[in-house]
Amino acid sequence: MNNQVSFDSLLRMAVREMYTEQVNSIPPEDKLKEIVHPSDKLKRRINQIVNRETRNEKLIHMHKIASRVAVIILMCISLSFATLMTAEAVRESVATTILEWHDKFTRIFIETDAQPEKLPEIRFNYIPEGFELVEEESIKSNTYCNYTFFSSDNNFLRIQISASAENSKNTFDNERASVFKITVDESIGTWISHNSINYLIINNDNIVFTISCRCAIEEIIEIYKNIEIL
Protein backbone atom coordinates (compact mmCIF):
# COMPACT_ATOMS: atom_id res chain seq x y z
CA MET A 1 0.00 0.00 0.00
CA ASN A 2 1.34 3.45 -0.99
CA ASN A 3 1.25 5.61 2.14
CA GLN A 4 3.51 8.40 0.83
CA VAL A 5 2.14 11.95 0.89
CA SER A 6 3.53 15.35 0.08
CA PHE A 7 5.57 16.74 2.97
CA ASP A 8 4.04 20.15 2.48
CA SER A 9 0.42 19.01 2.62
CA LEU A 10 1.07 16.86 5.68
CA LEU A 11 2.72 19.82 7.38
CA ARG A 12 -0.20 22.06 6.53
CA MET A 13 -2.56 19.52 8.06
CA ALA A 14 -0.42 19.33 11.21
CA VAL A 15 -0.24 23.13 11.49
CA ARG A 16 -4.01 23.43 11.09
CA GLU A 17 -4.63 20.80 13.73
CA MET A 18 -2.14 22.46 16.07
CA TYR A 19 -3.70 25.92 15.99
CA THR A 20 -7.21 24.51 16.09
CA GLU A 21 -6.24 22.71 19.30
CA GLN A 22 -4.74 25.91 20.67
CA VAL A 23 -7.92 27.86 19.97
CA ASN A 24 -10.16 25.07 21.31
CA SER A 25 -8.13 24.88 24.51
CA ILE A 26 -9.36 28.35 25.42
CA PRO A 27 -12.43 28.07 27.68
CA PRO A 28 -15.74 29.52 26.47
CA GLU A 29 -16.41 33.23 27.05
CA ASP A 30 -18.69 32.79 30.12
CA LYS A 31 -16.01 30.76 31.88
CA LEU A 32 -13.28 33.16 30.75
CA LYS A 33 -15.10 36.02 32.49
CA GLU A 34 -14.64 34.11 35.75
CA ILE A 35 -11.02 33.22 35.09
CA VAL A 36 -9.50 36.41 33.64
CA HIS A 37 -10.09 39.90 34.88
CA PRO A 38 -8.58 42.57 32.66
CA SER A 39 -7.46 45.53 34.75
CA ASP A 40 -8.85 49.01 34.25
CA LYS A 41 -5.39 50.00 33.12
CA LEU A 42 -5.52 47.53 30.23
CA LYS A 43 -8.98 48.77 29.27
CA ARG A 44 -7.70 52.33 29.26
CA ARG A 45 -4.69 51.34 27.16
CA ILE A 46 -6.86 49.54 24.62
CA ASN A 47 -9.20 52.55 24.49
CA GLN A 48 -6.16 54.72 23.84
CA ILE A 49 -5.21 52.47 20.92
CA VAL A 50 -8.76 52.70 19.57
CA ASN A 51 -8.77 56.49 19.90
CA ARG A 52 -5.33 56.85 18.37
CA GLU A 53 -6.17 54.58 15.46
CA THR A 54 -9.47 56.42 14.94
CA ARG A 55 -7.57 59.71 14.92
CA ASN A 56 -5.01 58.34 12.48
CA GLU A 57 -7.75 56.95 10.28
CA LYS A 58 -9.48 60.34 10.34
CA LEU A 59 -6.26 62.10 9.41
CA ILE A 60 -5.59 59.67 6.56
CA HIS A 61 -9.20 60.03 5.51
CA MET A 62 -9.01 63.84 5.56
CA HIS A 63 -5.79 63.69 3.58
CA LYS A 64 -7.45 61.46 0.99
CA ILE A 65 -10.44 63.81 0.71
CA ALA A 66 -8.20 66.90 0.49
CA SER A 67 -6.19 65.23 -2.30
CA ARG A 68 -9.34 64.35 -4.20
CA VAL A 69 -10.76 67.86 -3.81
CA ALA A 70 -7.44 69.37 -4.93
CA VAL A 71 -7.40 67.14 -8.01
CA ILE A 72 -10.99 68.06 -8.87
CA ILE A 73 -10.29 71.80 -8.44
CA LEU A 74 -7.16 71.49 -10.56
CA MET A 75 -9.12 69.68 -13.27
CA CYS A 76 -11.81 72.39 -13.22
CA ILE A 77 -9.22 75.16 -13.44
CA SER A 78 -7.40 73.39 -16.28
CA LEU A 79 -10.66 72.82 -18.13
CA SER A 80 -11.87 76.40 -17.75
CA PHE A 81 -8.42 77.72 -18.61
CA ALA A 82 -8.29 75.57 -21.75
CA THR A 83 -11.75 76.81 -22.73
CA LEU A 84 -10.94 80.46 -22.07
CA MET A 85 -7.64 80.25 -23.91
CA THR A 86 -9.51 79.80 -27.16
CA ALA A 87 -10.61 83.47 -26.88
CA GLU A 88 -8.05 85.81 -28.43
CA ALA A 89 -8.46 88.52 -25.78
CA VAL A 90 -7.69 86.04 -22.99
CA ARG A 91 -4.70 84.70 -24.91
CA GLU A 92 -3.35 88.22 -25.34
CA SER A 93 -3.79 89.17 -21.69
CA VAL A 94 -2.11 85.93 -20.58
CA ALA A 95 0.80 86.58 -22.96
CA THR A 96 1.11 90.16 -21.68
CA THR A 97 1.11 88.99 -18.07
CA ILE A 98 3.77 86.38 -18.80
CA LEU A 99 5.95 88.97 -20.56
CA GLU A 100 5.52 91.41 -17.67
CA TRP A 101 6.54 88.71 -15.19
CA HIS A 102 9.49 87.79 -17.35
CA ASP A 103 10.64 91.39 -17.48
CA LYS A 104 10.06 91.86 -13.77
CA PHE A 105 12.27 88.96 -12.78
CA THR A 106 14.94 88.98 -15.49
CA ARG A 107 15.64 92.59 -16.26
CA ILE A 108 16.94 95.72 -14.54
CA PHE A 109 14.90 98.88 -14.95
CA ILE A 110 16.50 102.21 -14.30
CA GLU A 111 13.84 104.90 -14.19
CA THR A 112 13.34 108.36 -12.87
CA ASP A 113 10.03 109.84 -11.81
CA ALA A 114 10.95 113.51 -12.23
CA GLN A 115 8.80 115.76 -14.36
CA PRO A 116 9.87 116.13 -18.03
CA GLU A 117 11.58 119.36 -18.96
CA LYS A 118 12.94 120.85 -22.14
CA LEU A 119 16.53 119.80 -22.85
CA PRO A 120 19.08 122.59 -22.72
CA GLU A 121 21.68 123.08 -25.45
CA ILE A 122 24.56 120.63 -25.14
CA ARG A 123 28.13 120.66 -26.42
CA PHE A 124 30.62 117.75 -26.44
CA ASN A 125 34.08 119.02 -25.57
CA TYR A 126 35.68 115.61 -25.74
CA ILE A 127 35.01 112.79 -28.17
CA PRO A 128 37.70 110.10 -28.51
CA GLU A 129 39.85 110.31 -31.58
CA GLY A 130 38.55 108.60 -34.71
CA PHE A 131 34.82 108.91 -33.87
CA GLU A 132 32.61 110.82 -36.29
CA LEU A 133 29.03 111.89 -35.66
CA VAL A 134 26.58 110.11 -37.96
CA GLU A 135 23.68 112.50 -38.49
CA GLU A 136 21.37 109.84 -39.95
CA GLU A 137 21.67 107.77 -36.79
CA SER A 138 21.07 110.68 -34.45
CA ILE A 139 17.77 111.98 -33.08
CA LYS A 140 17.02 115.27 -31.46
CA SER A 141 13.82 116.45 -29.84
CA ASN A 142 12.84 118.83 -27.03
CA THR A 143 13.13 116.22 -24.29
CA TYR A 144 15.39 113.59 -25.78
CA CYS A 145 18.39 113.37 -28.05
CA ASN A 146 20.55 110.58 -29.28
CA TYR A 147 23.98 111.20 -30.79
CA THR A 148 25.60 108.26 -32.51
CA PHE A 149 29.26 108.26 -33.46
CA PHE A 150 31.11 105.66 -35.51
CA SER A 151 34.81 105.08 -35.86
CA SER A 152 36.67 103.77 -38.92
CA ASP A 153 37.04 100.35 -37.25
CA ASN A 154 33.22 100.19 -36.94
CA ASN A 155 33.15 100.87 -33.19
CA PHE A 156 30.33 103.06 -32.00
CA LEU A 157 29.71 105.63 -29.34
CA ARG A 158 26.16 106.49 -28.40
CA ILE A 159 25.21 109.39 -26.17
CA GLN A 160 21.57 109.57 -25.17
CA ILE A 161 20.35 112.51 -23.19
CA SER A 162 16.90 112.64 -21.73
CA ALA A 163 15.21 115.42 -19.80
CA SER A 164 14.51 113.02 -16.91
CA ALA A 165 11.32 112.02 -18.55
CA GLU A 166 9.34 108.92 -17.81
CA ASN A 167 10.55 107.57 -21.13
CA SER A 168 14.12 107.43 -19.84
CA LYS A 169 14.15 103.68 -19.39
CA ASN A 170 16.99 101.27 -19.96
CA THR A 171 16.58 97.51 -19.85
CA PHE A 172 19.34 94.93 -19.51
CA ASP A 173 19.45 91.20 -19.21
CA ASN A 174 20.59 90.84 -15.60
CA GLU A 175 21.91 87.32 -16.19
CA ARG A 176 24.69 88.51 -18.49
CA ALA A 177 25.30 92.10 -17.32
CA SER A 178 27.53 93.27 -14.47
CA VAL A 179 26.10 96.25 -12.64
CA PHE A 180 28.03 98.71 -10.45
CA LYS A 181 27.23 101.95 -8.66
CA ILE A 182 29.56 104.79 -9.67
CA THR A 183 29.98 108.41 -8.49
CA VAL A 184 31.15 111.02 -10.98
CA ASP A 185 31.37 114.67 -9.85
CA GLU A 186 29.01 113.99 -6.95
CA SER A 187 26.39 112.48 -9.25
CA ILE A 188 25.53 108.86 -8.58
CA GLY A 189 25.26 106.75 -11.68
CA THR A 190 25.17 103.17 -12.83
CA TRP A 191 27.90 101.44 -14.77
CA ILE A 192 26.79 98.37 -16.67
CA SER A 193 29.12 96.09 -18.51
CA HIS A 194 27.33 93.90 -21.03
CA ASN A 195 28.80 92.02 -24.01
CA SER A 196 32.08 94.04 -23.75
CA ILE A 197 30.10 97.26 -24.06
CA ASN A 198 30.22 99.68 -21.16
CA TYR A 199 27.19 101.78 -20.32
CA LEU A 200 27.19 104.76 -18.05
CA ILE A 201 23.76 105.95 -16.93
CA ILE A 202 23.88 109.03 -14.81
CA ASN A 203 21.38 111.57 -13.63
CA ASN A 204 22.75 115.08 -13.40
CA ASP A 205 20.26 117.68 -12.19
CA ASN A 206 17.32 115.83 -13.72
CA ILE A 207 19.02 115.23 -17.03
CA VAL A 208 19.72 111.58 -17.67
CA PHE A 209 22.83 110.74 -19.67
CA THR A 210 23.31 107.30 -21.14
CA ILE A 211 26.65 106.81 -22.78
CA SER A 212 27.56 103.50 -24.33
CA CYS A 213 30.68 102.45 -26.16
CA ARG A 214 32.96 99.46 -26.67
CA CYS A 215 35.74 101.21 -24.79
CA ALA A 216 37.03 101.57 -21.22
CA ILE A 217 34.72 103.06 -18.59
CA GLU A 218 37.37 105.72 -17.87
CA GLU A 219 37.00 106.93 -21.48
CA ILE A 220 33.23 107.10 -21.08
CA ILE A 221 33.59 109.04 -17.82
CA GLU A 222 35.88 111.46 -19.62
CA ILE A 223 33.25 111.96 -22.35
CA TYR A 224 30.59 112.57 -19.69
CA LYS A 225 32.73 115.04 -17.78
CA ASN A 226 33.31 117.00 -20.98
CA ILE A 227 29.65 117.40 -21.85
CA GLU A 228 28.89 121.05 -21.45
CA ILE A 229 25.34 122.21 -20.68
CA LEU A 230 24.88 125.64 -22.22
Partner 1 sequence: MLVFYLSLIDDEENQNKFKMIYEKYGNSMLYTAIDILKDDYLAEDAVQEAFLQIAKNIKTIRTDTSAETKAYVVTIVRNCSYRMAQKNSKYIIMPEDNIIEETVADKTDYESRTVSIVMYEEMKKALATLDEKYVTPLVLQEQGYKISEIADSLNISQSAVKMRISRAKKMIYELLEAKK
59: contact with partner 1 by CB under 8 A: no
Report how far residue 101's alpha carbon sits from residue 188's, in angstroms, rounded to the nearest whole number. 28
Question: 33 or 91: whose CB is closer to partner 1?
Answer: 33
66: contact with partner 1 by CB under 8 A: no
Q: Residue 185, CB half-sphere, CA atoms under 13 Å: how many?
A: 11
Using CB under 8 A, which of 15, 70, 73, 99 touches partner 1? 15
SS3 (DSSP) at 94: helix
Give pairs for 110-113: CB < 8 Å, separation 24+.
110/169, 110/170, 110/190, 110/201, 111/166, 111/168, 111/169, 112/164, 112/166, 112/168, 112/203, 112/206, 112/208, 113/166
Report how far residue 66's alpha carbon sits from residue 60's, in angstroms, rounded to the nearest whole number. 10
Cβ 40 to partner 1 shortest distance, Å: 11
Question: 31 or 169: whose CB is closer to partner 1?
Answer: 31
Report how far residue 17's alpha carbon sits from residue 120's, in angstroms, rounded to the nearest whole number. 111
72: contact with partner 1 by CB under 8 A: no
Chain positions 146 to 185 lying near partner 1, rule: CB under 8 A, are none
Question: 43 or 169: whose CB is closer to partner 1?
Answer: 43
Q: Which of 98, 96, 130 is nearest to 219 (CA)?
A: 130
Cβ 42 to partner 1 shortest distance, Å: 5
How many residues interact with partner 1 (rule CB under 8 A)? Answer: 43
38: contact with partner 1 by CB under 8 A: yes
Report yes or no: 201 and 159 within 8 Å, Cβ to Cβ: no
61: contact with partner 1 by CB under 8 A: yes
Question: 57 or 205: whose CB is closer to partner 1?
Answer: 57
Using CB under 8 A, which of 26, 73, 79, 85 touches partner 1? 26
Residues in contact with partner 1 by the rule CB under 8 A: 3-8, 10-20, 22-23, 26-27, 29, 32-33, 35-36, 38-39, 41-42, 45-46, 49-50, 52-54, 57-58, 61, 64-65, 68
